[in-house]
Amino acid sequence: MSQLLNVPPPFNVAVLIVAIIVVASTLCSTAWIIRAGIAHYLDLQFKRDMIDRGFAPDEIERLVRAGGESASDCAAECDPAARRSRHAG
């Protein structure tokens, strides 16, 4: 490692820049993988919560496909209890 830093002056900067780029790339890739894992976990938790609330599979699929809307708005719209009370009154 010390031999890489003892390179003649014009090349030591290049070695340092390459090392910084490699470390930054590794950190960014690691952060992206962690973020993707957390997003997957939260998606599974959302689906489990909808199953626990009694949503039908086709409703869950429709909500997951909608994706662009707020999850709480979709859940309130498709909540079986809220739907029954709306139709009863």
How does pLDDT run along the chain (89 residues), one tens digit per residue? 566 667 677 777 888 899 999 999 999 999 999 999 999 999 999 999 999 999 998 888 888 888 755 545 555 555 556 555 554 54
User: CA 63, CA 71: separation in Å to the nearest integer?
Assistant: 8
Asked if 79 contacts 66 with a C-beta cutoff of 8 angstroms, the reply is no
Alpha carbon distances (Å) from 57 to 17, 68, 71: 52, 19, 16
User: CA 81, CA 60: separation in Å to the nearest integer?
Assistant: 15
Q: Which amino acid is at 79?
A: D
- Would you state the pLDDT for residue 24? 97
pTM: 0.56
Residue-level length of the chain: 89
Distant-in-sequence, close-in-space partners of 77: CB < 8 Å, separation ≥ 6? none
